[in-house]
Each structure stands twice: as structure tokens, then as C-alpha cells.
Structure 1
Amino acid sequence: MTAYAIAHLQQFAPHPEVAEYIDRIGETFEPFGGRFLVHGTAHEVMEGRWPGHVVMIAFPDARLAHEWWDSPAYQDIAPLRSRHIDTDIVIVEGVAEGYDPRTTAQALRDQLG
């Protein structure tokens, strides 16, 4: 099942190391089947607060996303970002094709009794 690495980049300030990180990141996830879905695009906050930027990378599955994250190639460049940008990053699995949210709603109702 497709998995996603989602980053919320906050307090971004241009820096040469960040440019190097951006230049090199693609080559770190390509061997794991990763590809950008969102990168450097504008977003519109519909509710709440979301300062900063969003990055989303898709992987064929969560195992490959974790292998990318743990890979020497990615770990080598991660400090280029983390020294200059406050970031929250999660890896999350997508839902199966045909997912019906009513099933989740019913499970919640069952838990509530």
C-alpha cells in the first residue's frame, strides 16, 4: 500500500546548505521508488494554522519509506536541512483502494457502545 513521507517545514530561511539538500534529495529516494507529490508549491489554510511549507513524497509502501529514511544517502544530507529548518516529518500509510469512511465511522460507533 502506498505510503507517504510528509514534512511540515517551519521558519524556513534561505541558506546554501538548504539549496544543497534540495539539489541532492531526489537521488536519495529514487532507489526506493519515491517521488515528489508536493514540493515548493503554495498552500491555502482552510482551518487552523499552518505556517511554513509542505513536502510530500510517495513510496510504494511503508517499508521502502523507512528504508529511505534510514539510508546512509538520506542520513548524510538530513543535517543540511535540520540545521536550518524546524521540521515535523511523518511517514503514514495510505488507505486501500475502495476505502469507505463509513466503515471507520461504524467502528467508532461500536466502540462508543
Structure 2
Amino acid sequence: MPKGYWIAHVDVDDEEGYKEYIGMNAEPITRHGGRFLVRGGRFEGIEGTKRARNVIIEFPSYQAALDCMNSEAYQAALAVRRKYSKADVIVIEGYEGPQPGE
């Protein structure tokens, strides 16, 4: 079964307020088996629109990623995040097919 991912590109308007969101998101992400693969860090914008912060969270399945996003606990955290930032977010299914050169 393919893994699921959240991919988010975020601009934070209020760093202090955003800390409330960070404190609230840990429980639902952990409960649904999520783990951060990318959480900020250096990046080079090559093409298209860029935001200051990039995040990739891996879940054991696409359904787990959706369930976390739609959970009551995460929706409460999301309402807080939206007060302090702007973001582009997708939930996407991982790929398990052939790789280049295979």
C-alpha cells in the first residue's frame, strides 16, 4: 500500500502565534502515524511560486494522511494556523512503481 504525504508551502505572518499551531499539530500527526521528512530547512526555489517554509509529512498510507487532515484535532489546529499564516497544502498518495533506469 502506498504511503501518503502532506506537502505544504507556508508563509508565516506571526511567528509567536504560529507556535500555538505547532503545539496543537503534534498529537493528531503522531496519532495517525505521521513523521516529518522536511520541516523548514534550506531550499533553492527553481521554478514557480515560492513560500518561505516547506514541509513534507509522511504517513503510513494515503488514507491515514486524509484521516489526520480531517480529524477534529487537526482541524482545530488548522483553524489556528490560518490566523497566523498562508499556505498551499496537498495530500498526495506516494508512488511505488518503477524508477528511472529500472
More helix as a share of residues: 1
Q: Same fold (TM over 0.5)?
A: yes
TM-score if structure 2 supplies the norm length? 0.86
| Gaps in structure 1 of 5+ consecutive residues | 103-113
Which stretch of the first structure deviates more once superposed, 54-63 or 43-52?
A: 43-52
Q: Measure the CA separation in 1 of the matches of 2:40 and 2:90.
A: 18
| 1:8 to 2:2 alignment | no
SS in 1 for 2:87: strand
Structure 1: 4+ residue segments shifted above 3 A: none
Q: Tell whether the 8 Å contact from 2:21 to 2:80 is kept in structure 1 after alignment.
A: yes
| Gaps in structure 2 of 5+ consecutive residues | none
TM-score if structure 1 supplies the norm length? 0.78
**What is the Cα deviation at residue 31 of structure 1?**
1.0
> Structure 1 residues 2 and 82 mapped into 2: Cα distance closer, same or farther (>3 Å)?
same
Q: Between Structure 1 and Structure 2, how many residues are aligned?
A: 100
SS in 1 for 2:84: coil
Amino acid at match of 1:100: Q
> Structure 1 residues 28 and 100 mapped into 2: Cα distance closer, same or farther (>3 Å)?
same
1:74-101 deviations in Å (ceiling 9; x for gaps): 01111111112111110111110x5235
Q: Tell whether the 8 Å contact from 2:62 to 2:94 is kept in structure 1 after alignment.
A: no
Amino acid at match of 1:19: K
CA RMSD of superposed structures (Å): 1.8
More strand as a share of residues: 2
